[in-house]
Amino acid sequence: MAENLNIGEMVLGENDQNDDSKIERYCYNNDTTKCDEFGGLYQWAEMMQLPSRCNTESCADLIQPNHQGICPDGWRLFTYEDYIVVRTAEGNDDGIKGLRSMHGFSGTNSSGFSLTGAGQRTKKGGFDRLKKTVYWFYPQEHEYDEKLYVRNGYISAVTDHTPSADDGDEKVFGFSVRCTKLEE
């Protein structure tokens, strides 16, 4: 998917996404035009389409191979292995810069991945790093503390930081979501 997912009903940043009966999203600074431009931001359990309690307890037994989460039918959540495929794809001769959009994110987009600096919703309910960083979760809890931490990746507009398979952050942050088409 060459853009950040943008589905669900907007909730204010100071609230957790805890209504398990619908998909909820954050829009940067509680401004829906930011969702239109950069995509929504989602807590881990929301992205995974798991009960909101999974942001504060381990739900490893609920994670499926090719986990769909909030991705459309025929798609699954983006994994670290997908990131490696995109970063090293033929035609992307610009490394990290080739993953970033030319639209305000200091990239060449030679990969067609079109990452934009969507920033994040902080664990305290604020927003930061718009046009500076894009963050995303993987569908995998982190061994450091499965109750609170999951694997994640991020790319900055100003450095060539390469996400590591061991990067992790708390489940309650609001990050962008990317989906990958299932192979037929």
Q: What digits encode the pLDDT tens for the residues 131-178?
A: 999 999 999 999 889 899 999 999 999 888 888 888 999 999 999 999
> Does residue 2 lie within any of the structural domains?
no
pTM for the predicted model, two decimal places: 0.94
Q: What digits encode the pLDDT tens for the residues 34-88?
A: 999 999 999 999 999 999 999 999 999 999 999 999 999 999 999 999 999 998 8
Number of independent structural domains in the chain: 1
Rounded to whole angstroms, the maximal C-alpha distance in the chain is 44
> Does residue 26 lie within any of the structural domains?
yes
Domain residues for 72? 9-181
> Does residue 109 lie within any of the structural domains?
yes
> Does residue 1 lie within any of the structural domains?
no
Using CB atoms within 10 A of its CB, is residue 94 exposed (0-12), middle (13-18) or buried (19+)? middle
> Does residue 3 lie within any of the structural domains?
no
> Does residue 73 lie within any of the structural domains?
yes
User: Following CA atoms 153, 154, 160, 166 in sequence, which dihedral angle do they give, to the nearest 10 degrees?
Assistant: -30
